[in-house]
Amino acid sequence: MADAILVTGGAGYIGSHIVAELARAGYRPIVVDNFCNSSPSALPRLSRIAAQEIRCVTADVRDQAALSRVFAGHAIAAVVHCAGLKSVSEGEAQPALYYDNNVGGAIALVDAMAAAGVKRLVFSSSAAVYGQPDRNPVTESAPLRPQSVYGRTKRIVEQLLEDVAASDRSWRIALLRYFNPAGAHASAAIGEAPSGIPNNLVPLLADVAAERRAEIAVYGNDWPTPDGTGVRDYIHVMDLAAGHVAALAYLASTPGVIALNLGTGRGYSVLELIAAFERACGRAIPRRFAPRRPGDVAAYYADPSRAEAVLGVRAHRDIDAICADAWRWRLNRVDD
Ligand SMILES: NC(=O)c1ccc[n+]([C@@H]2O[C@H](COP(=O)([O-])OP(=O)(O)OC[C@H]3O[C@@H](n4cnc5c(N)ncnc54)[C@H](O)[C@@H]3O)[C@@H](O)[C@H]2O)c1
């Protein structure tokens, strides 16, 4: 029987792609989600691409009793913890909600895992734990100075997990620090489907190309970057998902805790990304320059060499693949 892997937040954007990749690698993914930012309609589509019925338990990860029932009912080998709230602006407006959901959820999960004797965990962390980097590319040993409530909740969970691993040497934990995940599954059956206004650039570009939105706002064209717009490291969500499958395999034979950047090592500006999206959709994307937003950073991109060395995987899809897949998903999306 294939190993069962619990994916919290598995109905969401990144979690659903991880579920698809786990199934492809021969695992049996099981989803826990409360659907606060996703739809149950993703599951039948996910089962189709996974070529297996994806079990889903509707529960909040802060509900430790519900999690314990999941562990009691399935022989779970490991957990990928994606469930969480991810909007930087919402976190600033509602800090207690973010601490409760992100930190409280991780505490309940760790307790339920310990009680069930499941001690292999991959955590969805973020480049937000670094804050404003002193230099690029950003390595895992860069200073950790998160500048948002969201980033602080991610760093606090990392610290919790470092302490858990120190207290009991049988834990195996990977802290995966995502740079800018984007794109969609090649089937165009799953992708990013944010409820409300998208936070990320690629779904916004897709909305403008689909004429659901008039134009894209570019925040700042006077940054110290080659074309004056912000530079980020966009990693295709399927390359990101492959990193999780590799991390689970790595942890099977390696105890302790490890932090790994998941990025490509190459930064692209907002204008370069807009041009790539225009190539993908064959339409012009109207844009408007707006003032810089407080707290924004000119440029950051990952040094992915530790993840490449440890996990043996490298992000190989470029921004053209990201935009082509995101556009096909936008055209295929029905549930909005
Ligand atoms: N998308 C990004 O740009 C990005 C970057 C870095 C890190 N991350 C992290 O990756 C993870 C997944 O992000 P995503 O982009 O897929 O977001 P998402 O909102 O699409 O997915 C999160 C999923 O978790 C669920 N969820 C949230 N709180 C829950 C709770 N308390 N109990 C049960 N389910 C809950 C949501 O319903 C959703 O399905 C998050 O932890 C996020 O912070 C995302």
3-state secondary structure 116-185: HCCCEEEEEEEHHHCCCCCCCCECCCCCCCCCCHHHHHHHHHHHHHHHHHHHCCCCEEEEEEECEEECCC
pLDDT at residue number 199: 83
Ligand 1 center–CA 311 separation, angstroms: 23
31 within 8 A of 40, measured Cβ to Cβ: no
Ligand 1 center–CA 228 separation, angstroms: 31
Q: Which of 82, 202, 336 to mutate to test ligand 1, by most ligand atoms within 8 A of the CB atom?
A: 82
79 within 8 A of 44, measured Cβ to Cβ: no
Tell me the HSE value of 178 on the side-chain side, using a 13 A CA sphere: 23
pLDDT at residue number 196: 78
Architecture of domain 4-184+233-263+301-315: 3-Layer(aba) Sandwich (3.40)
pLDDT one digit per residue (tens) for the chain, 336 residues: 789 999 999 999 999 999 999 999 999 999 999 999 999 999 999 999 999 999 999 999 999 999 999 999 999 999 999 999 999 999 999 999 999 999 999 999 999 999 999 999 999 999 999 999 999 999 999 999 999 999 999 999 999 999 999 999 999 999 999 999 999 999 999 999 887 788 899 999 999 999 999 999 999 999 999 999 999 999 999 999 999 999 999 999 999 999 999 999 999 999 999 999 999 999 999 999 999 987 788 999 999 999 999 999 999 999 999 999 999 999 998 755
Helix (H) or strand (E) holding 277: helix 270-281
Ligand 1 center–CA 15 separation, angstroms: 7
Is 13 a residue of the active site? Answer: no
Hey, where are the domains in the chain?
Answer: 4-184+233-263+301-315
Alpha helices (H) along 25-148: 42-50, 64-73, 88-93, 95-98, 105-116
β-strands 4-8, 76-81 pairing: parallel
CA distance 184 to 205: 14
As for ligand 1, residues whose beta carbon falls within 6 Å of it are: 9, 11-15, 33-38, 60-62, 82-86, 101, 105, 124, 126, 178, 181, 200
Q: Which two tokens stand for residue 286?
A: 């109207």
CA distance 200 to 275: 16
- The C-alpha torsion from 300 through 306 and 310 to 312, rounded to 10°, is 60
Q: Which two tokens stand for residue 22?
A: 């786990």
Single out the catalytic residue among 13, 150, 234, 300.
Answer: 150
pLDDT at residue number 2: 82
pLDDT at residue number 296: 84
Angle between helices 149-167 and 105-116 (to 10 degrees): 20
Nearest to 261 by CA among 153, 157, 152, 180: 180
Residue 104 burial (C-beta neighbours within 10 Å; 0-12, 13-18, 19+): middle
Q: Which two tokens stand for residue 161?
A: 């997990």
Under 8 Å CB-to-CB from 231, ≥6 apart: which residues? 223, 225, 267, 268, 269, 298, 299, 300, 301
Ligand 1 center–CA 178 separation, angstroms: 12
pTM of the model: 0.98
